[in-house]
Amino acid sequence: MNATAQIFDQGEYNFAYLDEQTKRMIRRAILKGIAIPGYQVPFASREMPMPYGWGTGGVQVTASILGKDDCLKMIDQGSDDTTNAVSLRGFFEKTANVRTTYETSEATVIQTRHRIPEKKLREDQVLVFQVPIPEPLRFLEPRETETRKMHALEDYGLMHVKLYEDIAKNGHIATTYAYPVMVNDRYVMDPSPTPKFDNPKIDEMAALQLYGAGREKRIYAIPPYTKVKSLDFEDYPFEVQKFDKPCGLCGAEHVYLDEVILDDKGGRMFVCSDSDYCEERRAAGHVGPMAANPAAQQIGGHGTNAEEASR
């Protein structure tokens, strides 16, 4: 009887769900990805107990790198308490029994969907992204056989034409998230559907970035302190979104904000998408212009739910 069978006899799962052979296979793919920054490494993605498209790539990467001493933070849309983040955190609490946290600075592994935390990450942290479509050229050329060739030949003309046409037609590059980047002057890479606001954070980041696409069976990586440039033109330089208001709750500026609709009369407020960052600022005494609004009470915190606030 092998190890996995024994574990099932005991009615338990292996540490972090995946068996050790699978983890080793995934770690090899990760190492290859780190060695060739931005290159999409095919890997034998497994069927996971959550659906494809719901973070299976990120979960497999996290499961493969997680150790008993790690502290895991799980975010979706920048927030720790969105439904899928709750579900995936619960998965690792159950299968790996590791410490989890909402605090960015406390975490050693952060799995994310669609955002990068506002707080600067450190060398001893790993950021794991859930990736739906890893191929930045997919919507220009649907065929894998073609896009692989284009990457091999560093033939990114199609991408530049697309960006040029955007400008010619709309006056803007009409890509607001999953904005393509050039990694280490070699591979064009999809930074996953994070808003382009987060692109500058990828560049020269101190933390290791791992990208996992389960359904598409690809892993790619950006090692610490790697040059990552958002694609642009000299006369149309890359720009990030700017918000003309600070966060309604904590008053933060130069952060990514979510728009929250308060009523059906056009009432709305903007709040930090990174909920941990916002909470930390409020705890430190920062107050935003809308903090006194009764609606803000409900949106802003876990105060409405004692159980979840106790974390």
Partner 1 sequence: MYVAVKGGEKAIRNAHKLTAKRRRGDTSVPALTLEQIAEQLSHAVARVMGEGSLYDETLAALAIKQSRGDLIEAAFLMRAYRTTLPRFGYSQPVDTAKMLVERRISATYKDLPGGQMLGPTFDYSHRLLDFALAAEGEGGDLDAETSPVEDEPMPRVTDLLGDEGLIEPDPAADENAPVGDLTRDPLSFPADRDLRLQNLARGDEGFLLALAYSTQRGYGRTHPFAGEIRYGEVEVEFFAEELGFAVTLGSIKVTECQMINQFAGSAKTPPAFTRGYGLVFGQVERKAMSMAMVDRSLRWEELGEEQVAPAQDGEFVLSHSDNIQATGFVEHLKLPHYVDFQAELDLVRRMRGEWFEKRAREDAETAAKEAAE
Q: Which residue from 241, 245, 254, 287 is in contact with partner 1, where contact means CB under 8 A? A: 241
Q: Are 14 and 4 in contact (CB under 8 A)?
A: yes
Q: Which residue from 27, 84, 105, 224 is in contact with partner 1, where contact means CB under 8 A? A: 84
Q: Which residue from 121, 125, 273, 290 is in contact with partner 1, where contact means CB under 8 A? A: 273
Q: Which residue from 70, 81, 135, 280 is in contact with partner 1, where contact means CB under 8 A? A: 81
For the question of residue 71 being annotated catalytic, the response is no
The 157-176 site mask, x for binding partner 1 (CB under 8 A), equals -------------xxx-x-x
**Distance from C-alpha of 190 to C-alpha of 202, rounded to nearest angstrom:** 11
Q: Are 186 and 222 in contact (CB under 8 A)?
A: no
Q: What is the pairing mode between strands 208-213 and 126-130?
A: parallel
For the question of residue 247 being annotated catalytic, the response is yes
Query: Helix, strand, or coil here: 222?
Result: strand
Phi-psi sector, 28: left (phi>0), alpha (psi -120 to 50), beta? alpha
Q: Are 251 and 281 in contact (CB under 8 A)?
A: yes
Q: Which residue from 12, 20, 49, 206 is in contact with partner 1, where contact means CB under 8 A? A: 49
Catalytic residue of the set 247, 248, 288, 300: 247
Contact call for residue 195 and partner 1 (CB under 8 A): yes
For the question of residue 58 being annotated catalytic, the response is no
Residue 114's φ and ψ, nearest 5 degrees, are: 75, 0
Closest CA to 85 of 116, 54, 125: 54
| Partners of 221 in the β-ladder | 210
Q: Are 50 and 16 in contact (CB under 8 A)?
A: no
**Distance from C-alpha of 304 to C-alpha of 8, rounded to nearest angstrom:** 40
Contact call for residue 217 and partner 1 (CB under 8 A): yes
Q: Which residue from 15, 39, 43, 129 is in contact with partner 1, where contact means CB under 8 A? A: 43
Question: Closer CB to partner 1, residue 23 or residue 226?
Answer: 23
Tell me how far the alpha carbon of residue 197 is from its chain's centroid.
13
Q: Which residue from 104, 108, 110, 114 is in contact with partner 1, where contact means CB under 8 A? A: 114
**Distance from C-alpha of 200 to C-alpha of 126, rounded to nearest angstrom:** 17
Give the range of 41-49, 97-105, 118-126, 223-231 binding partner 1 by CB under 8 A.
41-49
Q: What is the pairing mode between strands 218-222 and 208-213?
A: antiparallel
Give the range of 100-108, 157-165, 181-189, 251-259 binding partner 1 by CB under 8 A.
251-259
Active site residues: 38, 247, 250, 272, 278
Q: Which residues bind partner 1 (CB under 8 A)?
A: 2, 4-5, 8, 13, 17, 19, 42-49, 51-54, 56, 76-79, 81-87, 90, 113-115, 132, 143-145, 170-172, 174, 176-178, 193-197, 215, 217-218, 241, 256-260, 273, 298-299, 302, 304-305, 307-308
